[in-house]
Amino acid sequence: MQRPGPVIWLGARMRRGALVLAAALCLSPAAGAQETAPPATITIAPRPPTAPVSSPRPQPRPDDVAPETVPAPEATAPEAAPTAATSATEPAKPVRDPNRGAVTNLPIPRYVSLKGNVGNARRGPGLTHRIDWVFTHGGMPLRITAEHENWRRVEDAEGMGGWVHYALLSGVRTVLVTAPLADFRRSPDPGADILFQAETGVIGRISECAPDWCRVSVEGEKGWVSKAQIWGSDPGEIVE
């Protein structure tokens, strides 16, 4: 005979989604027999949505700046065509790998996370470009798709984004739960025990990743989740 366990509701620091933790509670053994109570359920409710952050548009360039004058080129003799010997000694320019960043030479695309609580995504790589999008969830995963000097073009799980200054990004790897209810298991096996569950919108930090699974920490709890239920790590990617 079993007695139902209690239900406990706790607050969470997450904006969207909730975390459900299954914990086994054992009853005191009766005289001559021992029984176990069913696992209690702990639900962590999502945090209320954050109010939109208003961001001022970049200031226009001043109109009273005098234009630069370019001196007229001096008359020079036409340059002679290079000889065959000269052209043969010039080293060929290396071809840039399109799968590597033009600035960092790191893989493109790659995943990072938002360092602070606010990040402005601009239409182009510079402060003179207008702000198209404002990220307001610290730690959310982002994917870098291009580089230009100190700017990185990023996008979120829904494909929204723009150019963000690299100082607003972190190399800490996180994931976003995209499944209605993701199962976090004891090991990277569909038949392994479920340690806890998380709803859509929960953000967790990656501990490690196998080709099809990631071990993720959420609110102090760790478990293996299938990559099909999260966004922030590509299939086949290994994170140590």
**Average of pLDDT values for 68-84?**
47
pLDDT band at 32 (very low <50, low <70, confident <90, very high): very low
Least confident of 43-47, 91-95, 118-122, 144-148: 43-47
Q: Tell me whether residue 157 is in a domain.
A: yes
Identify the bridge partners of residue 142 per DSSP, sorted by sequence position.
112
**Average of pLDDT values for 101-121?**
96
pLDDT at 88: 55
Q: Tell me whether residue 70 is in a domain.
A: no
Structural domains counted in the chain? 2
The residue out of 170, 205, 229 marking a domain boundary is: 170
Residue 226 CB: number of other CB atoms within 10 A? 16
pLDDT reading at 229 higher than 60: yes
Structural domain for 238, as ranges: 1-48+179-240
Nearest to 110 by CA among 145, 137, 139, 138: 145
Q: Tell me whether residue 44 is in a domain.
A: yes
Q: Tell me whether residue 85 is in a domain.
A: no
User: Is there a cis peptide before residue 109, judged by omega within 30 degrees of 0?
Assistant: yes
Nearest to 229 by CA among 240, 165, 220, 218: 218
139 shares its domain with 165: yes
pTM of the model: 0.64
pLDDT band at 146 (very low <50, low <70, confident <90, very high): very high
Mean pLDDT, all residues of the chain: 76
Identify the bridge partners of residue 91 per DSSP, sorted by sequence position.
none
Share of the chain above pLDDT 70, in %: 62
164 shares its domain with 113: yes
Identify the residue whose tokens are 């290396």. 94
Q: Which tokens go with 179?
A: 């499944």
107 shares its domain with 129: yes
By three-state DSSP, how is residue 166 classified?
helix
pLDDT at 89: 65
Least confident of 19-28, 58-67, 78-87, 164-173: 19-28
pLDDT at 60: 41
pLDDT at 97: 87
pLDDT reading at 17 higher than 90: no
183 shares its domain with 225: yes
